[in-house]
Structure 1
Amino acid sequence: MTSLDPTLYFARLTSGTIALDVRRDRYLRLSAPIAEAVEQALSGQESAETRARLAGAGLLGVGASPVQFSRILPCRATHAALSELGNDEPSLRVRIACVAALARMRTLLRIAGFASALARAQRAVNAPLQHDLMRAIALARAFEHARAWLPFERRCLPDGLALHALLARSGLRATLALGVRDKPFAAHCWVQAGDWLLTDTIDEVDELTPILVI
């Protein structure tokens, strides 16, 4: 059994390994020796030297993680729901629900933090939810319309978490993904239903490697 911190998630890129530390809300670019130690730990070939390297890098476990997330997307997105947004504005009721979802998520991130917001997202999708692509696309477009009215700076994490929560609250299943790329480093959060992107464009996520998926 690996002694790696269970709140760490890894993406293997051609240029090296990136770690997402959920507990501390940070990304780490691992050096080659540390990446090698991580690989050994993940493959069950942990040694005293491996543990020493991991301990020196602060990557050893501090206790059980209450939530385990996936690292694998169910499928890559091939269509974008917002590519042709149209002029149909959502009803006032839907617009209020979208604004409220974003306000709640921004508050949750500020008060409870990143790990708590992700855990809540995982609990939401553990409930019985429907796969209804057309409804999910319609709600994503309504959220985008409502988002344009808000004075908050656009940020992918609270926006993605808010849309994901709104879909779950509406009984709809969707996937929240966090991905990374290197050279230059970038991290991004997006939402998709099946192979349909509900945020962003295909080009914006196509070069990203998923590191955590809900």
Structure 2
Amino acid sequence: MAYALRPGVSYCQVGERLLFLDLPADKYLCLTHSAEAAFKRLCREQASSADDREGFLTSGFVLPSAQARMTPCMPPPVPTGSFAENNPNEVGGMQQFAALSRLAHAAISLRWAGLNATISRLAGRKRAAASHQHNQPDPICTLRQTSTAFEACDALLGSKDKCLPRSIAAAHRLLDHGLEPILVLGVRLDPFHAHAWTQFGDRLVNERIEATRPFTPILVV
């Protein structure tokens, strides 16, 4: 029998450990060492005990499937630059207002709709955008202006502990312009910490390269 991760569950390997993100439960977690070893056997489609299989099925992490889908998160392109670094552009009032509006909407959505619904809405907008051809005459200019607008918001409101709403807002703002952003949620261990950022191809939009390097992507939208 094949198994697949339950929808909303993703994972990555950090060093020797596996870290999981359960979007519907809005939590990150590690398995015990024995459960992690059993999960790795399941991923390799090696024989595991009935107790192992029953434990994972009961936990809801995995489901029986016609096709095995137990792969870790596929990382995005490795960032090679950032629009947030050495960006001399000034931001217009309407651009900053639009960024502030998206920030407020992202914060409200995370608080009242939850992480899973907020991420699902962004993913839905990306799918819709991918089905249409957009004529973007100067995406670099738009990316720089968007980055500058969110930098201005950070200066006004602060950015500490706001990486998730900032990144979701930046992704939606790029979609407003017909661009297809990549939202990344990353994790690190010792100590555990999670971070989020938005990029376009291999260029970061609302973060600097050195701030993302310690993190392993666990969810890419």
What TM-score does the superposition give when structure 2 sets the normalisation length? 0.83
Alpha-carbon distance change, 190 to 46 in structure 1, aligned in 2, over 3 angstroms: farther
SS in 2 for 1:17: strand
Measure the CA separation in 2 of the matches of 1:90 and 1:197. Answer: 18
Deviations 1:134-155 (A, max 9, x none): 4223212222113322378551
What displacement does 1:183 show? Answer: 1.3
SS in 2 for 1:142: helix
Q: Which of 161, 170, 184 is 1:163 aligned to?
A: 170
> 8 Å contact 2:99–2:153 — kept in the other structure?
yes
Measure the CA separation in 2 of the matches of 1:206 and 1:98. Answer: 25
Measure the CA separation in 1 of the matches of 2:122 and 2:46. Answer: 33
Supply the RMSD in Å over aligned alpha carbons: 2.5
Aligned to 2:110: 109
- Unpaired runs of 5+ residues, structure 2, are 65-71
What TM-score does the superposition give when structure 1 sets the normalisation length? 0.85
Moved more, 45-54 or 190-199: 45-54
Q: Which of 208, 214, 219 is 1:212 aligned to?
A: 219
What displacement does 1:89 show? Answer: 2.8
1:74-113 alignment, distance < 5 Å: 74-86=76-88, 88-113=89-114
Alpha-carbon distance change, 50 to 137 in structure 1, aligned in 2, over 3 angstroms: farther
Deviations 1:169-190 (A, max 9, x none): 1111111001111111111101
> 8 Å contact 1:10–1:17 — kept in the other structure?
yes
SS in 2 for 1:133: helix
Aligned to 1:32: 33
Measure the CA separation in 2 of the matches of 1:164 and 1:146. Answer: 15
Q: 1:158 is matched by which residue type in structure 2?
A: P
Deviations 1:71-128 (A, max 9, x none): 2233100212112132x43111111111110111111111110000100111111123
What displacement does 1:161 show? Answer: 0.4
What displacement does 1:3 show? Answer: 5.2
Q: 1:74 is matched by which residue type in structure 2?
A: P
What displacement does 1:168 show? Answer: 0.6
Aligned to 1:66: none
Measure the CA separation in 2 of the matches of 1:8 and 1:114. Answer: 12
What displacement does 1:45 show? Answer: 4.1
Measure the CA separation in 2 of the matches of 1:102 and 1:109. Answer: 11
Alpha-carbon distance change, 45 to 105 in structure 1, aligned in 2, over 3 angstroms: same
SS in 1 for 2:85: coil
Measure the CA separation in 2 of the matches of 1:108 and 1:158. Answer: 9
SS in 2 for 1:188: strand
SS in 2 for 1:30: coil
Aligned to 1:52: 54
Alpha-carbon distance change, 151 to 19 in structure 1, aligned in 2, over 3 angstroms: closer
SS in 2 for 1:9: strand
Alpha-carbon distance change, 13 to 151 in structure 1, aligned in 2, over 3 angstroms: closer
